[in-house]
Structure 1
Amino acid sequence: MKRLLRNVLRSSWVQRAVGFLAAEWLRLVWLTNRFSFEPRDVYELVEPQQPAIFAFWHGQHFMTPFIKTKQSHRAKVLISLHRDGEFNAIAAERLGIGTIRGSGDHGSAFHRKGGVGAFREMVRALEEGYNVALTADVPKRSRVAGLGIIMLARESGRPIMPFAMATSRFIRLKNWDRTTINLPFGKGALVGIEAVVVPPDADAETMEKLRAELEANLNEATRRAYAQLGRPQGAAHG
């Protein structure tokens, strides 16, 4: 029975259907939540620094396609090769975001999970003027920023823009990253934190320092987003 269910979930028509439904659900959530922005002129501040690397946490990612508010904001997002990634990729593309498939983890599975090719494609996308969005934490290590995104910033010369998006109404799953399912008919918040810039000659010590800074900035952005919505407990994890 489990094998049959797994095969059904892997079928292209099921993946397309789930991706379509997910995209339309997220569009409904975006349209029916009244979003506030911190700082208020966040887009005016960020646009001169584009193309940039937009960073967010696993499990807090569903609303992130909507940071793209103009056709001129060309963007691609890194999505894993895992089966669940297919649904996310279809949804992202339906919402106007290009996809790069592979792993952001620079651990032992980096080569096997398509990490090398994805890394090169992200560098190339930034060179071509695309913004690139990806989770700062790697699978199974929620809210611990990895070095992959720091390496990308060093190689590309582009700044990392940490941000968080939250809604006042949500469901939290009990999985490894405590995924938040955003719900319609409430309030929303987008919080951007000061960019993290990685020098091209950054050594291991500097990269670790900037990794920790990015981690702290993302936690602060998440805390502020939920606090604005009167849901400070929403930022808690664990």
Structure 2
Amino acid sequence: MKKLLRNTLRSSWFQRAAGFAAAEWLRFVWRTNRVTYEPGGFEALYDRVEGQFPAIFAFWHGQHFLTPFIKTKPTHKAKVLISLHRDGEFNAIAVERLGIGTIRGSGDHGSAFHRKGGVGAFKEMVRALDDNYNVALTADVPKRSRVVGLGIIMLARESGRPIMPFAMATSRYIQLRNWDRTTINLPFGRGAVVGVEEIYVPRDADAAALEHYRQKLEAFLNQATERAYALVGRPKGARHD
């Protein structure tokens, strides 16, 4: 029975069905939440951000489900980095149904970088930015939640494109007890999208400079997350104990 269940969960038809259901659920959640944008409201925020395209959009693991909806116009070209792990399959199907392209691989620059398709994914992200696509990815790497990895900093240095730290939150959600405290957003509440000052990484940045920008991005993402939860009336939701 366990083998049958495992094979079912890994089957292509189940992955497609799960991806379709996830996309439609997220669309429903997004449409039924009243969303606030900061800083300056929707038009001011997007006017500032669009002036920096193509850009690298950074967010935390576990806070990612609504991120496809930052793409608000058909002319916005975007791709998102998704793990090669089998759990990434239905995520890829879901985001593609929501109009976002996918890049498969790891953003981790640790020992498993080559094995997890990190080198190819890194090159593909650079090419996507060169082709005027925005690229979105989690800034923290698996099992090290809320700690920015160097991969996204190196991507900004290599591409010359800015990192746009942001957070999204809803007042109603379920938080799982896994390593990244995954947040499942729920409908019929309040939502918030918060952007923070963009980060440019110089092409000649050395190891010390890369660490400086890594810490800066970490601080900005924490700031955006805290503010997003405060805007929806759930300030304790920003905690990650």
When the two structures are superposed, what TM-score results if normalisation uses the length of structure 2? 0.98
Alignment correspondent of 1:183: 186
Structure 2 SS opposite 1:230: coil
Tell me the distance in 2 between the aligned counterparts of 1:82 and 1:9.
13
Alignment of 1:168-207 (within 5 A): 168-207=171-210
Q: How does 1:1-238 map to 2 (within 5 A)?
A: 1-39=1-39, 40=41, 41-238=44-241
* Aligned positions, number: 238
Secondary structure class of the residue paired with 2:144: coil
- What code does the residue aligned with 1:211 have? R
Q: Tell me the SS of whatever aligns to 2:121.
A: helix
Structure 2 counterpart SS, 1:49:
coil
Aligned Cα RMSD in Å? 0.6
Partners in 1 of 2:19 and 2:119 — Cα distance?
26
Q: Which amino acid aligns with 1:167?
A: T
Q: Work out the CA distance in 1 between the residues paired with 2:157 and 2:20.
A: 36
- TM-superposed CA distance for 1:5, in Å, is 1.8
- 1:169 & 1:8 partners in 2: Cα distance? 31
Runs of 4+ deviating beyond 6 Å: none
Gaps (5+ residues) in structure 2? Answer: none
Structure 1 runs not aligned, ≥5 long = none
For residue 106 of structure 1, report the CA deviation from its aligned partner: 0.4
Secondary structure of 1:215's counterpart equals: helix
Structure 1: how far apart are the matches of 2:110 and 2:3? 30
SS at match of 1:155: helix
User: In structure 2, what is the Cα distance between the partners aligned to 1:118 and 1:7?
Assistant: 28
1:6 is displaced (CA, Å) by 1.7
CA distance in 1, matches of 2:223, 2:107: 22
Q: Separation in 2 of the partners of 1:3 and 1:145?
A: 37
| TM-score, with structure 1 as normaliser | 0.99
The residue type paired with residue 2 of structure 2 is K
Deviations 1:114-147 (A, max 9, x none): 0000000000000000000000000000000000
Distance 1:118 1:182 in 2: 28
